[in-house]
Structure 1
Amino acid sequence: MRLAPAVVLLLAITGCGGQAGDTNALRGKVFVSTSVTERELVEGTSVELRFTDDGRLIARAGCNMMQSPVELDGGKLKVDDLSTTAMGCPKPELHEQDEWLSKLLSAAPSWQLKDANLVVAGNGTEIVLAPEEPAKLEGGEWKVDTLVSADAASSVPGAVPATLTFADGRVDVFTGCNSGSASYRVDGQKITFEGLVHTDKACGPDETLVEKAVVAALTGQVAYKIERSSLSLTNTQGDGVQLKK
Protein backbone atom coordinates (compact mmCIF):
# COMPACT_ATOMS: atom_id res chain seq x y z
CA MET A 1 0.00 0.00 0.00
CA ARG A 2 1.32 3.43 -0.95
CA LEU A 3 0.79 6.33 1.45
CA ALA A 4 -0.25 9.77 0.27
CA PRO A 5 2.52 12.40 0.50
CA ALA A 6 0.65 14.28 3.24
CA VAL A 7 0.51 11.12 5.38
CA VAL A 8 4.22 10.48 4.83
CA LEU A 9 4.96 14.05 5.94
CA LEU A 10 2.78 13.63 9.03
CA LEU A 11 4.59 10.43 10.00
CA ALA A 12 7.94 12.15 9.56
CA ILE A 13 6.89 14.99 11.83
CA THR A 14 5.36 12.83 14.56
CA GLY A 15 8.33 10.49 14.44
CA CYS A 16 10.51 13.37 15.61
CA GLY A 17 8.61 13.85 18.84
CA GLY A 18 11.16 13.69 21.67
CA GLN A 19 14.11 14.93 19.63
CA ALA A 20 16.08 17.80 21.07
CA GLY A 21 15.24 20.56 18.62
CA ASP A 22 17.23 23.74 18.11
CA THR A 23 20.51 23.57 20.05
CA ASN A 24 20.69 27.37 20.02
CA ALA A 25 17.65 27.38 22.31
CA LEU A 26 19.96 26.43 25.20
CA ARG A 27 22.73 28.98 24.64
CA GLY A 28 22.96 31.70 27.24
CA LYS A 29 20.45 30.01 29.55
CA VAL A 30 20.58 28.49 33.01
CA PHE A 31 18.40 25.54 34.01
CA VAL A 32 17.75 24.35 37.59
CA SER A 33 16.39 20.92 38.48
CA THR A 34 12.78 20.52 39.56
CA SER A 35 12.78 16.70 39.71
CA VAL A 36 15.28 13.83 39.57
CA THR A 37 14.29 10.17 39.17
CA GLU A 38 16.08 7.26 40.85
CA ARG A 39 17.96 9.59 43.18
CA GLU A 40 17.22 11.83 46.15
CA LEU A 41 19.35 14.99 46.11
CA VAL A 42 21.01 16.22 49.28
CA GLU A 43 18.61 18.51 51.13
CA GLY A 44 18.88 22.13 50.03
CA THR A 45 20.70 21.32 46.77
CA SER A 46 19.76 21.17 43.10
CA VAL A 47 21.35 20.37 39.75
CA GLU A 48 22.24 23.48 37.78
CA LEU A 49 23.24 23.49 34.11
CA ARG A 50 24.42 26.69 32.45
CA PHE A 51 24.98 26.83 28.68
CA THR A 52 27.26 29.74 27.80
CA ASP A 53 27.15 31.78 24.63
CA ASP A 54 30.61 30.51 23.67
CA GLY A 55 29.59 26.82 23.67
CA ARG A 56 30.50 25.64 27.17
CA LEU A 57 28.53 23.82 29.84
CA ILE A 58 28.94 24.87 33.47
CA ALA A 59 27.34 22.46 35.92
CA ARG A 60 26.85 22.29 39.67
CA ALA A 61 25.32 19.73 41.99
CA GLY A 62 25.69 21.52 45.31
CA CYS A 63 29.44 21.84 45.88
CA ASN A 64 32.06 21.97 43.11
CA MET A 65 31.75 23.53 39.67
CA MET A 66 32.23 21.46 36.51
CA GLN A 67 32.76 22.84 33.03
CA SER A 68 33.61 21.71 29.51
CA PRO A 69 32.99 22.54 25.88
CA VAL A 70 29.67 20.91 24.96
CA GLU A 71 28.12 19.52 21.78
CA LEU A 72 24.35 19.14 21.58
CA ASP A 73 23.79 17.71 18.10
CA GLY A 74 21.64 14.63 17.58
CA GLY A 75 19.82 14.93 20.88
CA LYS A 76 22.96 14.01 22.85
CA LEU A 77 24.77 16.17 25.38
CA LYS A 78 28.47 15.50 24.83
CA VAL A 79 31.22 17.03 26.97
CA ASP A 80 34.93 16.91 26.28
CA ASP A 81 37.26 16.50 29.28
CA LEU A 82 34.92 17.75 32.00
CA SER A 83 37.04 19.68 34.53
CA THR A 84 35.99 20.06 38.16
CA THR A 85 37.09 22.45 40.89
CA ALA A 86 38.68 20.82 43.93
CA MET A 87 36.84 22.60 46.72
CA GLY A 88 36.42 20.54 49.85
CA CYS A 89 32.71 19.78 50.32
CA PRO A 90 31.27 20.25 53.84
CA LYS A 91 29.48 16.88 53.61
CA PRO A 92 30.65 13.59 52.05
CA GLU A 93 27.22 13.29 50.41
CA LEU A 94 27.89 16.48 48.44
CA HIS A 95 31.17 15.12 47.09
CA GLU A 96 29.42 11.90 46.09
CA GLN A 97 26.64 13.90 44.43
CA ASP A 98 29.24 15.83 42.41
CA GLU A 99 30.72 12.53 41.22
CA TRP A 100 27.26 11.26 40.25
CA LEU A 101 26.56 14.32 38.09
CA SER A 102 30.03 14.19 36.54
CA LYS A 103 29.52 10.55 35.50
CA LEU A 104 26.07 11.30 34.12
CA LEU A 105 27.29 14.22 32.00
CA SER A 106 30.34 12.29 30.79
CA ALA A 107 28.14 9.43 29.52
CA ALA A 108 26.60 11.52 26.67
CA PRO A 109 23.05 11.65 28.10
CA SER A 110 20.09 12.51 25.89
CA TRP A 111 18.46 15.91 26.09
CA GLN A 112 15.27 17.48 24.86
CA LEU A 113 13.11 20.52 25.51
CA LYS A 114 9.58 19.86 26.75
CA ASP A 115 7.81 23.20 26.62
CA ALA A 116 10.30 25.45 28.42
CA ASN A 117 11.84 22.66 30.51
CA LEU A 118 15.06 20.80 29.73
CA VAL A 119 15.01 17.03 30.22
CA VAL A 120 18.36 15.22 30.53
CA ALA A 121 18.37 11.42 30.74
CA GLY A 122 21.12 8.84 31.12
CA ASN A 123 22.55 6.16 33.43
CA GLY A 124 19.01 5.28 34.50
CA THR A 125 18.24 8.81 35.67
CA GLU A 126 16.02 11.54 34.25
CA ILE A 127 16.47 15.15 35.37
CA VAL A 128 13.84 17.78 34.60
CA LEU A 129 15.21 21.32 34.79
CA ALA A 130 13.28 24.59 34.55
CA PRO A 131 14.78 27.76 33.07
CA GLU A 132 16.06 30.13 35.73
CA GLU A 133 14.58 33.59 35.60
CA PRO A 134 16.97 36.46 36.39
CA ALA A 135 16.23 38.40 39.55
CA LYS A 136 14.29 41.65 39.26
CA LEU A 137 15.48 45.00 40.57
CA GLU A 138 12.35 45.56 42.61
CA GLY A 139 10.93 43.10 45.09
CA GLY A 140 13.09 41.59 47.80
CA GLU A 141 16.28 42.61 49.52
CA TRP A 142 19.67 42.87 47.82
CA LYS A 143 22.68 42.12 50.05
CA VAL A 144 26.01 43.81 49.37
CA ASP A 145 28.48 41.06 48.49
CA THR A 146 31.49 42.80 46.91
CA LEU A 147 33.06 46.25 47.01
CA VAL A 148 34.31 47.52 43.65
CA SER A 149 36.86 50.22 42.88
CA ALA A 150 38.17 51.31 39.50
CA ASP A 151 40.93 48.69 39.49
CA ALA A 152 39.97 46.06 42.08
CA ALA A 153 37.15 44.14 43.76
CA SER A 154 37.09 42.85 47.32
CA SER A 155 34.69 40.97 49.56
CA VAL A 156 32.75 42.82 52.23
CA PRO A 157 35.01 43.15 55.31
CA GLY A 158 33.80 41.79 58.61
CA ALA A 159 30.62 40.39 57.07
CA VAL A 160 29.00 43.84 57.33
CA PRO A 161 25.29 43.31 56.48
CA ALA A 162 24.61 46.17 54.05
CA THR A 163 21.38 45.96 52.03
CA LEU A 164 19.31 47.78 49.40
CA THR A 165 15.59 47.37 48.73
CA PHE A 166 14.06 48.90 45.58
CA ALA A 167 10.33 49.66 45.28
CA ASP A 168 8.21 52.24 43.45
CA GLY A 169 11.01 54.66 42.66
CA ARG A 170 12.55 54.65 46.14
CA VAL A 171 15.45 52.61 47.48
CA ASP A 172 15.76 51.86 51.20
CA VAL A 173 19.38 51.70 52.28
CA PHE A 174 21.18 50.06 55.17
CA THR A 175 24.91 50.66 54.94
CA GLY A 176 25.75 48.16 57.68
CA CYS A 177 25.71 50.95 60.23
CA ASN A 178 23.44 53.78 59.05
CA SER A 179 20.08 53.65 57.32
CA GLY A 180 18.42 55.95 54.82
CA SER A 181 16.74 56.22 51.43
CA ALA A 182 16.89 57.87 48.02
CA SER A 183 14.68 58.26 44.98
CA TYR A 184 15.68 56.64 41.70
CA ARG A 185 14.65 56.31 38.07
CA VAL A 186 15.71 53.68 35.56
CA ASP A 187 16.66 54.46 31.96
CA GLY A 188 17.89 51.42 30.04
CA GLN A 189 20.97 50.11 31.84
CA LYS A 190 21.38 53.29 33.88
CA ILE A 191 19.88 54.27 37.23
CA THR A 192 19.86 57.88 38.43
CA PHE A 193 19.75 58.28 42.21
CA GLU A 194 18.71 61.55 43.82
CA GLY A 195 18.32 62.89 47.34
CA LEU A 196 20.18 60.21 49.29
CA VAL A 197 19.80 60.88 53.01
CA HIS A 198 20.86 58.64 55.87
CA THR A 199 21.54 58.66 59.58
CA ASP A 200 24.99 59.70 60.73
CA LYS A 201 26.02 57.40 63.53
CA ALA A 202 29.71 56.82 64.19
CA CYS A 203 30.71 53.49 62.64
CA GLY A 204 33.62 51.08 62.96
CA PRO A 205 36.32 50.87 60.27
CA ASP A 206 34.71 47.96 58.39
CA GLU A 207 31.28 49.57 58.45
CA THR A 208 32.76 52.90 57.33
CA LEU A 209 34.47 51.26 54.35
CA VAL A 210 31.26 49.54 53.27
CA GLU A 211 29.21 52.69 53.78
CA LYS A 212 31.59 54.68 51.56
CA ALA A 213 31.19 52.13 48.75
CA VAL A 214 27.40 52.04 49.08
CA VAL A 215 27.10 55.84 49.01
CA ALA A 216 29.37 55.99 45.95
CA ALA A 217 27.10 53.52 44.19
CA LEU A 218 23.99 55.57 44.97
CA THR A 219 25.20 58.99 43.84
CA GLY A 220 24.08 60.42 40.52
CA GLN A 221 23.81 58.23 37.44
CA VAL A 222 25.27 54.72 37.71
CA ALA A 223 25.42 51.73 35.39
CA TYR A 224 23.54 48.67 36.59
CA LYS A 225 23.47 45.07 35.46
CA ILE A 226 21.49 42.08 36.67
CA GLU A 227 22.89 38.64 35.93
CA ARG A 228 20.97 35.76 37.45
CA SER A 229 20.76 36.65 41.19
CA SER A 230 23.51 39.28 41.12
CA LEU A 231 23.23 43.07 40.76
CA SER A 232 26.13 45.40 40.04
CA LEU A 233 26.03 49.18 40.52
CA THR A 234 29.00 51.14 39.16
CA ASN A 235 29.42 54.91 39.05
CA THR A 236 31.23 56.89 36.35
CA GLN A 237 34.55 56.58 38.24
CA GLY A 238 34.31 52.80 38.22
CA ASP A 239 33.45 52.52 41.94
CA GLY A 240 30.47 50.71 43.34
CA VAL A 241 29.12 47.47 44.77
CA GLN A 242 27.90 44.06 43.73
CA LEU A 243 24.89 42.57 45.47
CA LYS A 244 23.05 39.25 45.66
CA LYS A 245 19.52 38.18 46.47
Structure 2
Amino acid sequence: MVVAVAGLAVLPLGGCGDESGASGSAGSLKGKSYLSTAVMENGKPKQLAPNTRIRLQFMDDGRLTADAGCNSMGADKVSTSGGKLTIGGLAITDLGCDARRHAQDDWLAKLLQDKPTWKLAGDKLDVSTASTTISLVDREKAEPDLALDATKWSVDTVIEGEVASHSMGSEKAYLTISGERVTGSTGCNELQGIVSRTGDKLTFGELGTTLRACTGHAATLEKAVLGVLKGEVGYTIDSNRLKLRSPNGSGLDLTAPR
Protein backbone atom coordinates (compact mmCIF):
# COMPACT_ATOMS: atom_id res chain seq x y z
CA MET A 1 0.00 0.00 0.00
CA VAL A 2 1.23 3.46 -0.85
CA VAL A 3 -0.12 6.54 0.89
CA ALA A 4 0.54 9.83 -0.90
CA VAL A 5 -0.08 13.30 0.48
CA ALA A 6 0.27 16.79 -0.89
CA GLY A 7 2.99 18.92 0.65
CA LEU A 8 1.97 21.39 3.32
CA ALA A 9 1.94 25.08 2.59
CA VAL A 10 2.37 27.01 5.83
CA LEU A 11 2.62 30.76 6.10
CA PRO A 12 4.75 32.86 8.48
CA LEU A 13 3.99 33.36 12.12
CA GLY A 14 2.72 36.90 12.37
CA GLY A 15 5.15 39.11 14.28
CA CYS A 16 6.65 36.12 16.06
CA GLY A 17 9.95 37.81 16.80
CA ASP A 18 8.49 40.79 18.66
CA GLU A 19 5.61 39.39 20.67
CA SER A 20 5.76 38.14 24.24
CA GLY A 21 3.98 35.28 25.94
CA ALA A 22 3.08 34.88 29.59
CA SER A 23 6.77 34.16 30.20
CA GLY A 24 9.65 34.44 27.77
CA SER A 25 9.34 35.85 24.26
CA ALA A 26 8.17 34.40 20.98
CA GLY A 27 11.51 35.39 19.51
CA SER A 28 13.15 32.78 21.75
CA LEU A 29 10.81 30.12 20.30
CA LYS A 30 12.09 30.72 16.78
CA GLY A 31 14.22 27.89 15.44
CA LYS A 32 13.22 25.63 18.34
CA SER A 33 11.43 22.31 18.43
CA TYR A 34 9.62 21.03 21.53
CA LEU A 35 8.54 17.52 22.56
CA SER A 36 5.85 16.69 25.07
CA THR A 37 6.81 15.35 28.48
CA ALA A 38 3.30 15.20 29.98
CA VAL A 39 -0.29 16.06 29.18
CA MET A 40 -2.93 16.94 31.77
CA GLU A 41 -6.60 16.97 30.81
CA ASN A 42 -9.41 17.86 33.21
CA GLY A 43 -6.96 17.55 36.09
CA LYS A 44 -5.82 14.04 35.17
CA PRO A 45 -2.85 12.70 33.18
CA LYS A 46 -3.77 11.99 29.56
CA GLN A 47 -2.22 8.88 28.07
CA LEU A 48 -1.03 9.39 24.51
CA ALA A 49 -1.06 6.63 21.90
CA PRO A 50 1.88 4.21 22.30
CA ASN A 51 5.23 5.43 20.96
CA THR A 52 3.98 8.97 20.24
CA ARG A 53 4.82 12.44 21.52
CA ILE A 54 3.44 15.86 20.70
CA ARG A 55 5.93 17.90 18.67
CA LEU A 56 5.74 21.65 18.07
CA GLN A 57 8.37 23.22 15.83
CA PHE A 58 8.87 26.97 15.40
CA MET A 59 10.86 27.34 12.19
CA ASP A 60 13.59 29.92 11.60
CA ASP A 61 11.53 31.47 8.80
CA GLY A 62 8.52 31.93 11.10
CA ARG A 63 6.48 28.84 10.19
CA LEU A 64 4.91 26.57 12.79
CA THR A 65 4.54 22.82 12.31
CA ALA A 66 3.16 20.21 14.67
CA ASP A 67 2.40 16.52 14.87
CA ALA A 68 0.86 14.12 17.33
CA GLY A 69 2.47 10.94 16.08
CA CYS A 70 1.06 10.46 12.59
CA ASN A 71 0.07 13.38 10.34
CA SER A 72 1.92 16.67 10.04
CA MET A 73 0.12 19.96 10.64
CA GLY A 74 1.03 23.44 9.46
CA ALA A 75 -0.46 26.65 10.84
CA ASP A 76 -0.74 29.91 8.96
CA LYS A 77 -1.47 33.42 10.20
CA VAL A 78 -0.37 32.54 13.73
CA SER A 79 -0.19 35.31 16.31
CA THR A 80 1.59 34.88 19.65
CA SER A 81 0.49 38.19 21.15
CA GLY A 82 -1.26 38.40 24.51
CA GLY A 83 0.27 35.11 25.65
CA LYS A 84 -1.88 33.15 23.16
CA LEU A 85 -1.24 31.11 20.04
CA THR A 86 -3.96 32.27 17.66
CA ILE A 87 -4.12 30.26 14.43
CA GLY A 88 -5.84 31.55 11.32
CA GLY A 89 -5.74 28.27 9.42
CA LEU A 90 -4.45 24.72 9.71
CA ALA A 91 -3.30 22.37 6.94
CA ILE A 92 -3.02 18.65 7.73
CA THR A 93 -1.55 15.80 5.70
CA ASP A 94 -3.67 12.72 5.07
CA LEU A 95 -1.52 9.71 5.93
CA GLY A 96 -3.34 6.59 6.97
CA CYS A 97 -3.28 6.21 10.77
CA ASP A 98 -4.75 3.70 13.17
CA ALA A 99 -7.91 4.87 14.95
CA ARG A 100 -6.16 5.98 18.15
CA ARG A 101 -3.50 8.07 16.42
CA HIS A 102 -6.11 9.53 14.07
CA ALA A 103 -8.17 10.63 17.09
CA GLN A 104 -5.01 12.07 18.66
CA ASP A 105 -4.37 14.11 15.50
CA ASP A 106 -7.91 15.51 15.70
CA TRP A 107 -7.45 16.31 19.39
CA LEU A 108 -4.22 18.26 18.81
CA ALA A 109 -5.67 20.09 15.80
CA LYS A 110 -8.66 21.23 17.88
CA LEU A 111 -6.42 22.31 20.77
CA LEU A 112 -4.23 24.42 18.47
CA GLN A 113 -7.32 26.10 17.04
CA ASP A 114 -8.73 26.89 20.51
CA LYS A 115 -6.29 29.80 21.03
CA PRO A 116 -4.20 28.09 23.74
CA THR A 117 -1.99 30.14 26.04
CA TRP A 118 1.76 29.57 26.00
CA LYS A 119 4.41 29.98 28.69
CA LEU A 120 8.14 29.55 28.17
CA ALA A 121 10.54 29.06 31.11
CA GLY A 122 14.06 28.12 30.10
CA ASP A 123 13.89 24.88 28.10
CA LYS A 124 10.28 24.19 29.13
CA LEU A 125 7.16 25.25 27.24
CA ASP A 126 3.56 24.90 28.44
CA VAL A 127 0.66 25.19 25.99
CA SER A 128 -2.73 25.30 27.71
CA THR A 129 -6.47 25.58 27.17
CA ALA A 130 -9.09 25.75 29.93
CA SER A 131 -9.08 21.95 30.28
CA THR A 132 -5.71 20.81 28.94
CA THR A 133 -2.01 21.55 29.46
CA ILE A 134 0.71 20.11 27.27
CA SER A 135 4.12 20.31 28.94
CA LEU A 136 7.02 20.22 26.49
CA VAL A 137 10.80 20.45 26.59
CA ASP A 138 13.34 21.67 24.05
CA ARG A 139 13.89 18.79 21.63
CA GLU A 140 17.67 19.28 21.68
CA LYS A 141 17.62 18.53 25.41
CA ALA A 142 15.16 15.65 25.19
CA GLU A 143 16.51 14.00 22.04
CA PRO A 144 19.94 15.19 20.85
CA ASP A 145 20.62 14.76 17.14
CA LEU A 146 22.01 11.36 16.19
CA ALA A 147 25.36 11.25 14.39
CA LEU A 148 25.26 10.96 10.60
CA ASP A 149 28.05 8.37 10.66
CA ALA A 150 27.61 4.76 11.77
CA THR A 151 23.82 5.14 12.11
CA LYS A 152 21.44 2.89 10.19
CA TRP A 153 18.97 5.28 8.54
CA SER A 154 15.82 3.54 7.28
CA VAL A 155 13.66 5.10 4.57
CA ASP A 156 10.34 6.37 5.87
CA THR A 157 9.03 8.71 3.16
CA VAL A 158 9.82 9.41 -0.49
CA ILE A 159 9.49 13.04 -1.63
CA GLU A 160 8.70 13.84 -5.26
CA GLY A 161 8.07 17.56 -5.76
CA GLU A 162 5.03 18.51 -3.65
CA VAL A 163 4.04 14.88 -2.96
CA ALA A 164 5.25 12.71 -0.08
CA SER A 165 4.58 8.97 -0.25
CA HIS A 166 5.07 6.06 2.09
CA SER A 167 5.13 2.45 0.90
CA MET A 168 4.63 -0.50 3.20
CA GLY A 169 8.01 -2.15 3.47
CA SER A 170 9.94 1.02 2.64
CA GLU A 171 11.90 0.61 5.88
CA LYS A 172 13.74 -2.25 4.16
CA ALA A 173 15.60 0.48 2.26
CA TYR A 174 18.34 1.97 4.42
CA LEU A 175 21.70 3.75 4.41
CA THR A 176 24.74 3.61 6.65
CA ILE A 177 27.49 6.18 6.12
CA SER A 178 30.95 5.61 7.53
CA GLY A 179 33.45 8.27 6.53
CA GLU A 180 33.59 8.23 2.74
CA ARG A 181 31.73 4.92 2.35
CA VAL A 182 28.00 4.38 2.05
CA THR A 183 26.33 0.98 2.26
CA GLY A 184 22.73 -0.05 2.49
CA SER A 185 19.78 -1.37 0.55
CA THR A 186 17.30 -0.06 -2.00
CA GLY A 187 14.66 -2.27 -0.41
CA CYS A 188 15.41 -4.88 -3.05
CA ASN A 189 19.14 -4.78 -3.82
CA GLU A 190 22.16 -4.08 -1.64
CA LEU A 191 24.13 -0.93 -2.47
CA GLN A 192 27.55 0.51 -1.79
CA GLY A 193 29.66 3.40 -2.96
CA ILE A 194 31.53 6.58 -2.17
CA VAL A 195 30.16 9.73 -0.52
CA SER A 196 31.82 13.02 0.43
CA ARG A 197 30.49 15.87 2.53
CA THR A 198 30.88 19.63 2.63
CA GLY A 199 28.89 21.58 5.22
CA ASP A 200 25.25 20.52 4.88
CA LYS A 201 25.80 18.78 1.53
CA LEU A 202 26.53 15.15 0.67
CA THR A 203 27.88 14.18 -2.74
CA PHE A 204 27.29 10.60 -3.81
CA GLY A 205 29.49 8.93 -6.42
CA GLU A 206 28.17 6.20 -8.67
CA LEU A 207 26.66 3.46 -6.52
CA GLY A 208 27.07 -0.24 -7.15
CA THR A 209 24.15 -2.59 -6.48
CA THR A 210 23.45 -6.29 -6.57
CA LEU A 211 21.42 -7.49 -9.55
CA ARG A 212 18.28 -8.97 -8.05
CA ALA A 213 15.23 -8.38 -10.29
CA CYS A 214 12.77 -5.99 -8.58
CA THR A 215 9.07 -5.71 -9.37
CA GLY A 216 6.06 -3.75 -8.17
CA HIS A 217 6.51 -1.45 -5.17
CA ALA A 218 10.07 -2.71 -4.62
CA ALA A 219 11.06 -1.56 -8.11
CA THR A 220 9.39 1.83 -7.62
CA LEU A 221 11.13 2.29 -4.28
CA GLU A 222 14.53 1.32 -5.69
CA LYS A 223 14.18 3.81 -8.54
CA ALA A 224 13.29 6.59 -6.08
CA VAL A 225 16.15 5.78 -3.70
CA LEU A 226 18.80 5.59 -6.42
CA GLY A 227 17.38 8.76 -7.99
CA VAL A 228 18.03 10.73 -4.80
CA LEU A 229 21.44 9.18 -4.03
CA LYS A 230 23.02 10.72 -7.10
CA GLY A 231 25.37 13.70 -7.06
CA GLU A 232 24.93 16.49 -4.51
CA VAL A 233 22.05 16.46 -2.01
CA GLY A 234 21.35 18.60 1.03
CA TYR A 235 20.97 16.93 4.39
CA THR A 236 19.63 17.85 7.82
CA ILE A 237 19.33 15.81 11.01
CA ASP A 238 16.59 16.49 13.54
CA SER A 239 16.80 14.08 16.47
CA ASN A 240 16.54 10.63 14.83
CA ARG A 241 15.30 11.95 11.47
CA LEU A 242 17.53 12.44 8.44
CA LYS A 243 16.25 14.44 5.47
CA LEU A 244 17.94 14.26 2.07
CA ARG A 245 16.89 16.75 -0.61
CA SER A 246 18.06 16.93 -4.23
CA PRO A 247 18.20 20.25 -6.11
CA ASN A 248 15.21 19.11 -8.21
CA GLY A 249 13.00 18.79 -5.11
CA SER A 250 13.04 15.00 -4.80
CA GLY A 251 14.19 13.53 -1.53
CA LEU A 252 14.08 10.92 1.18
CA ASP A 253 13.07 11.13 4.84
CA LEU A 254 14.79 8.47 6.95
CA THR A 255 14.62 7.53 10.62
CA ALA A 256 16.84 5.62 13.05
CA PRO A 257 16.07 3.90 16.36
CA ARG A 258 17.26 5.66 19.47
Relative to the length of structure 2, the TM-score reads: 0.67
Tell me which residue corresponds to 2:125: 118
* Correspondence for 2:10: none
Check whether the contact 1:135–1:230 (CA below 8 A) recurs between aligned residues. Answer: no
- Aligned position for 2:31: 28
Q: 1:202 to 1:68 in 2, by over 3 A?
A: closer
| Equivalent pair of 1:28/1:53 in contact (CA under 8 Å) | yes
1:98 aligns with 2:110: no
1:204 aligns with 2:215: yes
Residue type of the alignment partner of 2:235: K
Q: What does the per-residue CA deviation read over 1:154-188, in whole Å, with 9 as the maximum and x for residues that have no partner?
A: 63667453221223332112012211312322112
Q: SS where residue 137 of structure 1 aligns?
A: coil
Specify the alignment match of 1:143 in structure 2: 155
Task: Specify whether residues 165 and 21 from structure 1 end up closer, same or farther in structure 2 by C-alpha distance, changes over 3 A only.
Answer: same
1:30/1:50 contact within 8 Å kept: yes
For the residue of structure 2 that corresponds to 1:213, the secondary structure is helix
What residue number does 2:14 align with?
none
- Give the equivalent residue in structure 1 for 2:165: 155
Q: Which of 39, 45, 52 is equivalent to 2:45? A: 39
Alpha-carbon offset, residue 57 of structure 1: 3.8
- 2:252 matched to which residue of 1? 242
Separation in 1, partners of 2:229, 2:100: 43
Q: Structure 1 147/62 Cα, relative in aligned 2: closer, same or farther at 3 Å?
A: closer
Question: Aligned with 1:79: secondary structure?
Answer: coil
Question: Structure 1 pair 140/159, CA: closer, same or farther in 2 (3 Å)?
Answer: closer
TM-score (norm 1): 0.70
- Contact kept, 8 Å, 1:121 with 1:127, in 2: the verdict is yes
- Give the aligned partner of residue 189 of structure 2: 178
Gaps of at least 5 residues in structure 1 are: 1-17
Quote the residue 1:225 is aligned against: 235
Amino acid at match of 1:243: D
Structure 2 residue aligned with 1:69: 77
Report runs of 4+ in structure 1 exceeding 6 Å deviation: none
Seen in structure 2, the aligned counterparts of structure 1 residues 239 and 22 have a Cα distance that, compared at 3 Å, is closer
**What whole-Å deviation, never above 9, does each CA across 1:4-42 have from its counterpart, x for those lacking one?**
xxxxxxxxxxxxxx9522311112332110122333233
Residue number in structure 2 paired with 1:49:
56
**Aligned residues between the structures:** 221
**Change in CA separation of 1:181 and 1:188 when aligned onto 2, cut-off 3 Å:** same
Name which of structure 1's ranges 194-203 and 154-163 shifts more when overlaid on structure 2.
154-163
Structure 1 range deviating more: 26-35 or 134-143: 134-143
**Residues in 2 aligned to 1:217 and 1:93: alpha-carbon distance in whole angstroms:** 30
Counterpart CA distance in 2 for 1:93 and 1:23 is 29
Q: Report percent identity of matched pairs.
A: 26
- Tell me which structure has the larger Cα radius of gyration: 1
- Which residue of the partner structure matches residue 194 of structure 1? 205
CA distance in structure 2 between the aligned counterparts of 1:152 and 1:92, rounded to whole angstroms: 28
How far apart are residue 142 of structure 1 and its match?
2.8
SS at match of 1:215: helix
Partner of residue 8, structure 1: none
1:59 aligned counterpart, secondary structure: strand
**Shift in CA distance, 190/54, structure 1 to aligned 2, threshold 3 Å:** closer
